């Protein structure tokens, strides 16, 4: 019924309608926007991972899964008569046209930075940009949110001029942590560690790196080397519990040297 040469949004729509219908799937019929939130997050991260791997077939598959899930959620709101897909598409297209007057209107811009500035001004006129920080989702991963907050503050000049200046702030925050370690004030220490991480996020931003991506690279590298360490211990018939940290570090350094 649904296999056809040309597939579009409405093919997805028919499939979802059938899944939710009287003779549909028990699991799909139970779903609500609330129950699907976790899958929306998971599918988004699977898309990001596919993009990082750079495999077009994988990207196509994961984007398809995400698109289907987004349409599923829209369908659930349509069922309740809150809004329809056509309304959503119309509203969003009008918003994009309005926020790109340099493309769809007579306004002129000279750079991407000017586009961002104008975008913020348009949002303010719409009543959606009263704060420079805007509506950055609090549910974002904290490191990514730190990056976005620093970026927004930087747009109005509340920022360091050079990465070296951020390093000075880093050293200041680190010194505060060293002093707090002597006092044993854990709650205050947690706050200062947060300040230190926020400073690192801003340092990364000033170097035009996304700290979330930088951390992912570091985690992937550590995981790869740790797996190699486990394999090496097996090859040498060694046991974790019988090795000192110094001995483990020595093997770790050997693994690192082979990657250079």
* pLDDT exceeds cutoff 80 at 128: no
Helical (H) or strand (E) element with 184: none
- The DSSP code for 241 is G
In which band, very low, low, confident or very high, does the pLDDT at 123 lie, cut at 50, 70 and 90?
Answer: confident
* pLDDT exceeds cutoff 60 at 32: yes
Can you read off the two tokens belonging to residue 102? Answer: 């340099």
Indicate the CATH number of 142-209 among 1.10.287.1080, 2.40.110.10, 1.10.10.10, 1.20.120.1200.
Answer: 1.10.287.1080
* pLDDT exceeds cutoff 90 at 206: yes
Buried b (16+ CB within 10 A) or exposed e, 88-109: eeeeeeeeeeebbeeeeeeeee
Mean pLDDT calculated for residue range 234-246: 94
Can you read off the two tokens belonging to residue 128? Answer: 């959606």
Q: What is the pLDDT of residues 142-153, one digit of tens each?
A: 999 999 999 989
In which band, very low, low, confident or very high, does the pLDDT at 260 lie, cut at 50, 70 and 90?
Answer: low
In which band, very low, low, confident or very high, does the pLDDT at 156 lie, cut at 50, 70 and 90?
Answer: confident
Q: For residue 82, what pLDDT is reported? A: 96
Query: Average pLDDT of the chain?
Result: 91
* pLDDT exceeds cutoff 80 at 7: no
The percentage of the chain sitting over the pLDDT mark of 70, rounded to a whole number, equals 97
Asked whether the CA dihedral 213, 257, 167, 181 is positive or negative, the reply is: positive
Q: How far is CA 158 from the centre of its chain?
A: 24
* pLDDT exceeds cutoff 80 at 33: yes
Helix axes 245-259, 211-235, angle to 10 degrees: 110
Query: pTM here?
Result: 0.70
**Structurally, what CATH architecture does the domain formed by 9-95 represent?**
Orthogonal Bundle (1.10)
* Range with lowest mean pLDDT among 82-86, 126-130, 142-146: 126-130
């Amino acid at each position: 019924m649904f296999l056809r040469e040309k597939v579009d949004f409405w093919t997805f729509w028919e499939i979802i309608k059938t899944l939710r219908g009287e003779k549909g799937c028990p699991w799909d019929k139970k779903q609500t926007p609330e129950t699907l939130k976790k899958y929306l997050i998971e599918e988004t991260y699977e898309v990001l991972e596919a993009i990082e791997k750079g495999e077009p077939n994988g990207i196509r598959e994961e984007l398809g899964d995400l698109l289907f899930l987004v349409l599923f959620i829209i369908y659930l709101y349509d069922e309740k008569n809150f809004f329809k897909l056509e309304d959503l598409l119309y509203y969003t297209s009008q918003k994009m046209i309005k926020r790109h007057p340099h493309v769809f209107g007579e306004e002129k811009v000279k750079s991407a930075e000017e586009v961002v500035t104008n975008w913020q001004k348009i949002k303010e006129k719409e009543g959606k940009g009263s704060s420079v920080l805007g509506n950055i989702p609090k549910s974002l991963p904290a490191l990514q949110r730190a990056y976005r907050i620093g970026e927004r503050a930087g747009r109005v000049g509340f920022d360091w001029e050079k990465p070296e200046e951020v390093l000075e702030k880093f050293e200041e925050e680190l010194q505060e942590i060293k002093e707090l370690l002597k006092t044993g004030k854990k709650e205050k220490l947690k706050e200062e560690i947060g300040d230190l991480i926020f400073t690192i996020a801003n340092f990364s931003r000033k170097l035009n790196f996304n700290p979330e991506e930088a951390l992912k690279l570091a985690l992937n590298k550590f995981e790869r080397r740790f797996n190699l360490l486990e394999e090496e211990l097996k090859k040498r018939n060694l046991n974790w519990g019988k090795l000192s940290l110094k001995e483990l570090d020595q093997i770790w350094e050997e693994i690192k040297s082979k990657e250079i």
